């Protein structure tokens, strides 16, 4: 049995702003009855760009109704630009949290809002653009673009989480392998971006900060590998881009130590800190 917050139950049993707006300024329609969930969001916007009215019609479970109700309350009185920054996590938080298995309802709300704002601005909506993207999950009509977006916005790490947030993979299951490929691609891209950011930060560090950063990489990424075979290294000094280390344990007498320093130690430091770093052996 899922645990629903009192606020979520209140918005389900007493939904706000159900109905239609005559001549709305923006309409967002997402999902489909065939897939089990559908939502139509309508907004009215005044000359100052403030959302003065929001109403919805939905077909779905209690969480879908509560998410749509909460969303309309959240956006009323906000400017279009302010409303555009609302995420599905904001909707879930507004409701006091949601069962993970129902997070796709909050995502549907966020998607409907994006569609309504695009429609208001006279832009091409994501629904209209669907033919430009690959449909990964044919059971629920979920595209690769939607999957990538929900992974990034919610920091998802598994296919199971993606299913909870999009329904993709929750039908016949034939798309699970493709979802995993997309997940791996997004995570690798984010990892690469974080690495580049760390490298950029390294350039602006003081010498003491650089030494600390080098020691952290040695402790976390290098030392455990060396110690598996009884070896180790000690950081002795940093002179410009030259890192001086002293081999310890079996590394101290290993005939391949120069290879180890170049192919393991130096490459790890390049990967995490800077491509300009050189590693030299110091015998003590």
Query: What's the pLDDT at 127?
Result: 61
User: Residue 7 and residue 232: Cα distance in Å, rounded?
Assistant: 56
What is the overall mean pLDDT for the chain? 92
Q: What is the pLDDT of residues 226-243, one digit of tens each?
A: 999 999 999 999 999 999
- The yes-or-no answer on residue 35 being catalytic is yes
Q: Which residue has the higher pLDDT, 133 or 161?
A: 161
Query: What's the pLDDT at 3?
Result: 83
User: Residue 189 and residue 152: Cα distance in Å, rounded?
Assistant: 10
How many angstroms separate the Cα of 282 from the Cα of each of 156, 185, 246, 255, 265?
A: 44, 41, 5, 15, 14
Q: Residue length, the chain?
A: 284
Ordered alpha helix ranges (H), 233-280: 257-260, 267-272
Residue 277 CB contacts under 8 Å (≥ 6 apart), including other chains: 241, 242, 243, 266, 269, 270
pLDDT of residue 32 exceeding 80: no
The CATH number of the structural domain formed by 6-121 is 3.90.1010.10
Domain(s) labelled CATH 3.30.300.130 in the chain stretch across 207-281
Burial 224-248 (b: 16+ CB within 10 A, else e): eebeeeebbbebeeeeeeebebbbb
Query: What's the pLDDT at 176?
Result: 96
Per-residue pLDDT band at 266 (split at 50, 70, 90): very high
User: Residue 105 and residue 101: Cα distance in Å, rounded?
Assistant: 9
Query: What's the pLDDT at 258?
Result: 93
- Mean pLDDT score, 9-30: 95
pLDDT of residue 35 exceeding 70: no
- Let me know if domain 207-281 sits in CATH 3.30.300.130: yes
Per-residue pLDDT band at 104 (split at 50, 70, 90): very high
Domain(s) labelled CATH 1.10.10.1100 in the chain stretch across 130-191
- The reported pTM is 0.70
Q: What is the pLDDT of residues 111-149, one digit of tens each?
A: 999 999 999 999 876 665 566 788 899 888 899 999 999
Catalytic residue among 35, 61, 139, 254: 35
Domain(s) labelled CATH 3.90.1010.10 in the chain stretch across 6-121
Domain 130-191, architecture per CATH: Orthogonal Bundle (1.10)
Q: What is the pLDDT of residues 205-224, one digit of tens each?
A: 999 999 999 999 999 999 99
pLDDT of residue 248 exceeding 90: yes
- The yes-or-no answer on residue 61 being catalytic is no
- Mean pLDDT score, 42-55: 97
Per-residue pLDDT band at 283 (split at 50, 70, 90): confident
Query: What's the pLDDT at 125?
Result: 66
Residue 218 CB contacts under 8 Å (≥ 6 apart), including other chains: 233, 235, 265
Query: What's the pLDDT at 126?
Result: 64
């Amino acid at each position: 049995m899922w645990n629903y917050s009192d606020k979520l139950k209140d918005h389900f049993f007493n939904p706000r702003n159900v109905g239609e707006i005559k001549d709305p300024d923006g309409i967002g329609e997402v999902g489909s009855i065939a897939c089990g969930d559908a939502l139509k969001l309508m907004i009215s916007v005044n000359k100052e760009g403030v959302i003065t009215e929001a109403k919805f019609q939905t077909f779905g479970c209690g969480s879908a109704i509560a998410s749509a109700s909460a969303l309309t309350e959240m956006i009323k009185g906000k400017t279009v630009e302010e409303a555009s920054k609302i995420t599905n996590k904001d909707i879930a938080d507004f409701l006091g949290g949601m069962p993970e298995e129902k997070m796709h309802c909050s995502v549907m709300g966020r998607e409907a809002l994006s569609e309504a704002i695009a429609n208001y601005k006279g832009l091409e909506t994501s629904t209209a653009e669907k033919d430009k993207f690959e449909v990964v999950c044919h059971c629920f009509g979920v595209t690769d673009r939607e999957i990538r977006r929900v992974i990034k916005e919610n920091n998802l790490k598994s296919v199971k989480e993606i299913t909870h947030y999009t329904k993709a993979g929750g039908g016949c299951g034939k798309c699970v392998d493709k979802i995993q490929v997309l997940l791996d691609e997004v995570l690798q891209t984010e990892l690469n971006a974080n690495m580049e950011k760390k490298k950029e930060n390294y350039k602006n560090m003081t010498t003491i900060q650089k030494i600390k950063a080098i020691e952290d990489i040695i402790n976390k990424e290098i030392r455990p590998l060396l110690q598996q075979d009884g070896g180790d290294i000690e950081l002795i000094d940093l002179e410009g881009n030259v890192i001086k280390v002293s081999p310890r344990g079996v590394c101290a007498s290993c005939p391949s130590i120069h290879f180890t320093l170049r192919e393991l130690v130096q490459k790890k430091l390049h990967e995490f800190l800077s491509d300009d770093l050189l590693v030299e052996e110091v015998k003590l």
